[in-house]
């Protein structure tokens, strides 16, 4: 996981294109880079947390949304792989959007991604409440779980403890984070494969179950298609975050070759193993008419507990808790790198402090603590207004899809002008899609627009009432982006620029290269 010396150099880091000096600890190897992407997607966290929503909305056939979302997100991942082969840099989405589009596009993408990542961290840690009390009743610290606010309040307590853990680990350095994350992902992958195998061995019905609507969508506007589009949210909420492998590029050995492969392997592994679990769970469920399968207090955990005998079910629940832990760690880590990247450009308030790297651990400590505190404060909303919190977490996913679109859109524009991909990708043997680049990029943009619209569509079944929740995607995103742009237009844009403390120009004998736009215009 570590390298013996600093031989990688700026030649293979992509930092020279931005004028940044190397300041983070370059110690992440191939598996740790792959693990970062897998743990953010988190097969066990996402599938177990959201299966009930997809199944309860559209039944077994909702699983057709899994390959649909995979193909759409794969097109985005392939675009990101080309970018990672050229610019494997911290805060990847922010820097890519800034480079391909403009300063305001980059800032908007970074702001949306950052705020969404903090809310996502809060949402992920709440999954502990679905699993820990099942393992031991002592984890239900508040009441017995039957009180009006017992479930929500206890979830906040468990979540806050987890955020404290991820804050400390990230503050102590990327090596410790990578070690814990890699070990956790290794366990998660083994557990996920074994769960799929055991479920398959206990299958009581064939694949024909996925070729019937089973009465779902009947009598509703839009029929089954309407129900299916809503259920697609369950798959759409899982398969993202693969860009984390590139966001850790400044801490990865040979990042221009390692990061693209890590992105592809992360999304492929998540699709294959996660899909196997979902398919075989439906085929193994003792009774598909059991209402608990489509309820949040049942879901996929309920099927696993029914199919597997006592001790084995408990072991797999422990593995799910491990998966939630490393997912929380990865989300926190990605948010820290994005904060650091924007602060290094003085694109956030208190930029100098947020961009400060601890001299011993070589990691941004202030962003780790700041994000941890903010995420814990957001959790408090869940106590009195759990539905509002659900709306916020759903909208956070839309914000991430929009941030991705702010990368693939400008990339397509560059490609149509003949300014992408850069010549050195093919010449250097780095990843490039070649002649497939244009059609894949078009699919990525169309997919991003379509999925953002589908996720944001005002539906009471998803967002509930009153109107500001039903139209929450437009209301809350409008407020978040509006407040951010207000700061940017009135204050931020006047002082944005690489801080002297992070400028390669301030370091002696720093290698110079052509400006980014000149390189892209070749």
Identify the pLDDT of residue 507: 54
Average pLDDT over residues 56-80: 97
Of 59, 52, 49, 63, nearest in space to 280 by CA: 63
Q: State the pLDDT at residue 151.
A: 83
Query: Which domain, by its residues, includes 213?
Result: 31-489
**pLDDT reported for residue 14:** 74
More confident residue, 314 or 169: 169
> At 387, which CATH number?
1.20.1740.10
16 closest CA partner among 80, 88, 79 = 88
The partner residues of 20 in beta bridges, in order of sequence, read 503
State the average pLDDT over residues 144-157: 82
Q: What percent of the chain stands above pLDDT 70?
A: 94
Q: For residue 96, what pLDDT is reported?
A: 98
Is 494 a member of any domain? Answer: no
Where b means 16+ CB within 10 Å and e means fewer, 453-483 reads ebbbeebeebbeeeeebbebbebbbeebbee
- Selected residue with higher pLDDT from 10 and 49: 49
Q: Which two tokens stand for residue 440?
A: 């894949």
Instruction: Indicate whether 495 belongs to any domain.
Output: no
* pLDDT of the residue at 16: 83
Tens-digit pLDDT profile for residues 345-391? 999 999 999 999 999 999 999 999 999 999 999 988 877 777 777 78
Average pLDDT, the chain: 90
Residue 518 maps to a domain: no
More confident residue, 383 or 290: 290
Sign of torsion over alpha carbons 14, 19, 24, 26: positive
Tally of CB atoms within 10 A around 297: 12
In a domain, 11, yes or no: no
Rounded to two decimals, the pTM is 0.91
- In 3-state terms the chain splits into helix, strand, coil percentages (rounded to 5) of 75, 0, 25
| Domain-located, residue 448 | yes
**Nearest-angstrom CA–CA distance, 522 and 36:** 33
Q: Residue 204 — pLDDT band, cuts 50, 70, 90?
A: very high
Is the residue at 2 inside a domain? no
Residue 324 makes CB contacts below 8 A (sequence gap 6+) with 42, 44, 45, 124, 125, 127, 128, 131, 162
Q: Tell me, what's the pLDDT at 12?
A: 65
Give, in degrees to the nearest 5, the angle at Cα 99 between 97 and 100: 65
Residue 149 — very low, low, confident or very high, per pLDDT cuts 50/70/90?
confident
The answer to whether residue 20 sits within a structural domain is no
Reported as a single tens digit per residue, the pLDDT across 422-448 is 999 999 999 999 999 999 999 999 999
CA distance 469 to 202: 41
Residue 51: pLDDT over 70? yes
Could you read off the pLDDT of 304-337 as tens digits, one per residue? 888 987 788 889 889 999 999 999 999 999 999 9
- How much is the pLDDT for 380? 86
Task: Return the structure tokens found at 152.
Answer: 């929500």
Q: Give the separation between CA 84 and CA 422, rounded to whole angstroms.
A: 12
Q: What is the pLDDT of residues 27-43, one digit of tens each?
A: 999 999 999 999 999 98
Q: What is the DSSP string of 169-212?
A: HHHH-HHHHHHHHHHHHHHHHHHHHHHHHHHHHT--S-GGGGG-
User: What was the pLDDT predicted at 11?
Assistant: 52
Inside any domain, residue 308: yes
**244 exposure class (CB count in 10 Å sphere: 0-12, 13-18, 19+):** buried
Backbone torsions φ then ψ of 28, nearest 5 degrees = -90, 130
Q: How many domains does the chain have?
A: 1
Which CA distances in Å does 371 have to 119, 339, 377, 405, 506? Answer: 10, 9, 10, 24, 29
The tokens describing 491, both together, are 């204050």
């Amino acid at each position: 996981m570590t390298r013996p010396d600093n031989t990688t150099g700026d030649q293979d880091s992509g930092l020279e294109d931005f004028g940044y000096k190397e300041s983070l600890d370059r110690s992440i190897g191939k598996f740790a880079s792959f693990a970062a992407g897998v743990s953010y997607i988190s097969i066990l966290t996402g599938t177990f947390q959201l299966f009930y929503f997809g199944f309860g909305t559209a039944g077994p056939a909702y699983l057709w949304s899994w390959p649909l979302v995979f193909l759409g997100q794969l097109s985005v991942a392939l675009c990101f792989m080309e970018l990672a082969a050229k610019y494997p840099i911290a805060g990847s989405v922010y820097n890519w959007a800034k480079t391909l589009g403009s300063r305001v596009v980059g800032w908007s993408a970074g702001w949306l991604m950052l705020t969404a990542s903090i809310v996502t961290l809060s949402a992920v840690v709440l999954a502990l409440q679905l699993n820990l009390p099942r393992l031991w009743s002592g984890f239900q610290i508040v009441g017995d779980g039957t009180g009006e606010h017992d479930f929500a309040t206890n979830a906040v307590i468990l979540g806050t403890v987890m955020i404290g853990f991820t804050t400390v680990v990230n503050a102590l350095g990327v090596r410790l984070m990578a070690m814990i994350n890699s070990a956790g992902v290794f366990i998660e992958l083994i557990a996920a494969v074994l769960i799929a195998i055991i479920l398959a061995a206990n299958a009581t019905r064939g694949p024909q179950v996925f070729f019937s609507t089973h009465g779902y969508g009947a009598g509703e506007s839009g029929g089954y298609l309407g129900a299916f589009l809503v259920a697609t949210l369950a798959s759409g909420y899982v398969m993202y975050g693969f860009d984390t492998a590139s966001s850790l590029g400044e801490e990865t050995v040979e990042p221009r070759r390692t990061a693209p492969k890590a992105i592809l392997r992360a999304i492929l592994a998540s699709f294959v193993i996660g899909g196997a679990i979902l398919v075989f769970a439906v085929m193994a469920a003792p009774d598909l008419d059991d209402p608990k399968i489509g309820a949040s207090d049942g879901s996929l955990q309920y099927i696993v507990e029914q199919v597997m005998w006592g001790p084995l079910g408990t072991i797999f629940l422990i593995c799910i808790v491990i998966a939630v832990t490393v997912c929380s760690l990865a989300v926190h880590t990605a948010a820290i790198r994005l904060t650091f990247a924007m602060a290094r450009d003085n694109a956030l308030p208190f930029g100098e402090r947020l961009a400060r790297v601890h001299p011993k651990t070589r990691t941004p400590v202030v962003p780790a603590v700041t994000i941890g505190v903010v995420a814990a404060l957001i959790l408090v909303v869940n106590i009195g207004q759990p539905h509002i919190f659900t709306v916020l977490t759903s909208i956070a996913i839309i914000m991430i899809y929009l941030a991705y679109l702010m990368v693939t859109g400008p990339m397509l524009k560059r490609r149509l002008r003949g300014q992408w991909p850069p010549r050195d990708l093919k010449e250097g043997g780095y990843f490039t899609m070649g002649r497939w680049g244009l059609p894949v990029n078009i699919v990525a943009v169309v997919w991003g627009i379509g999925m953002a619209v589908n996720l944001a569509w005002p539906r009471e079944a998803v967002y509930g009432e009153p109107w500001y929740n039903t139209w929450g995607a437009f209301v809350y995103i409008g407020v978040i982006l509006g407040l951010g742009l207000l700061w940017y237009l009135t204050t931020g844009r006047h002082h944005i620029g690489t801080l002297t403390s992070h400028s390669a120009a301030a370091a002696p004998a720093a290698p110079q290269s052509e400006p980014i736009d000149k390189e892209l215009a070749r």
